[in-house]
Amino acid sequence: MNNIPEIRPEQSIELLKELHILTRDGKLNQDSRRKLKQVYHLFNFIEPLLKNIVKNGNTHLSLVDHGAGKSYLGFILYDLFFKQQSFGEVFGIDTRPDLVSKSIDLANKLKFNRMKFLNLSVEESNKSLDIPKQVEIVTALHACDTATDDAIHFALNKNAKYIVIVPCCQAEVASVLRKNKGKNLGKSVLTEIYRHPIHTREFGSQITNVLRCLKLESRGYQVTVTELIGWEHSMKNELIIAEFKDLPTNYPRQRLENLIDELGLEDMKSRFLD
């Protein structure tokens, strides 16, 4: 039993220590209290999606955390939700073998038997026989630059019901805007939005997420965009939640194509119009 009000009764104290939310002697300082609050906040976004799947009678629930890193998110989700179920699996996918190995060791230590960790690239994960053909939820937390798009591609390939992503460090679109800026200056007044270098960077990040949302909508998803946490905690704060509802796709696809053409991003068509 713990005597810290913020810690839920069902939570693993050992896991919280391993994640450095609790100190080794089980204490919660101000920094870790703030960190725990953020964990709960993210969990509160994902838990209703998990409950909705379970409510609809799906006993083959699988969640894939792409670019899992230390599998922080996967462990918390397993501890607070999957541990209470008699079914369901959490997969952590990462290209760094040392992090995958450490996650495997921690899951074994905690007896989180329905957690699996795979050292795979995105292309390998799409073909891996260790991952179900259909995955209910795909998450990617602070997946840098094109890693977010890789996670989206994986989710679409796996017919995911839900996609939950927090993009980070988006530079690819900005680099294309920068490269084509000169020849586009006279074509459209919209070029003024990103004429200055700092605006190119910021606008590139913004438009990347706009294109991602349109791509998801062009595949039948309903998309919600919100803040993950308060801006005082992180500037990488955009949370995109997509739910497949088989919505009409022609209009968002046309808007996506028009936006790419308007901004001179023809080089990006293969990424956003695949």
**How far is the C-alpha of 34 from the C-alpha of 6, rounded, in Å?**
10
Domains of the chain by residue range: 48-272
**How far is the C-alpha of 123 from the C-alpha of 100, rounded, in Å?**
17
pLDDT at 186: 66
Token pair for 155: 């989710």
C-beta atoms surrounding 21 within 10 Å: 23
Q: How far is CA 147 from the centre of its chain?
A: 9
Q: Report the run of H or E that residue 227 belongs to, with start and end.
A: strand 221-227
**How far is the C-alpha of 190 from the C-alpha of 223, rounded, in Å?**
25
**Single pTM value for the model:** 0.90
Collapsing DSSP states into helix, strand and coil, what is residue 72? helix
CATH architecture type of domain 48-272? 3-Layer(aba) Sandwich (3.40)
pLDDT at 232: 47
Tens-binned pLDDT, residue by residue, of the chain (274 aa): 456 767 888 889 899 888 888 888 878 877 777 777 777 888 889 999 999 999 877 778 999 999 888 888 899 999 999 999 989 999 999 999 999 999 999 999 999 999 999 999 888 998 999 999 999 999 988 777 678 888 999 999 999 999 999 887 778 888 888 888 777 666 778 888 888 989 988 898 899 999 999 999 999 999 999 988 654 444 567 899 999 999 999 999 999 999 998 888 888 888 898 7
pLDDT at 1: 47
233-267 residue pLDDT tens: 445 678 999 999 999 999 999 999 999 988 888 88
Strands 115-119 and 89-94: parallel
pLDDT at 45: 92
Residue type, 139: T
Beta bridge partners of 92: 65, 117
Q: Are 99 and 69 in contact (CB under 8 A)?
A: yes
**How far is the C-alpha of 142 from the C-alpha of 229, rounded, in Å?**
13
Closest CA to 163 of 127, 138, 185, 142: 138
pLDDT at 96: 93
Query: Phi and psi at residue 162, in whole multiples of 5°?
Result: -130, 145
H-only helix segments in the chain: 13-18, 30-55, 72-80, 97-110, 122-127, 146-157, 172-184, 197-217, 250-262, 269-272
CB-count exposure of residue 79 (10 Å: 0-12, 13-18, 19+) = buried
Q: Both ends of the chain: CA-CA distance in Å? A: 52
Q: How big is the chain, counted in residues? A: 274
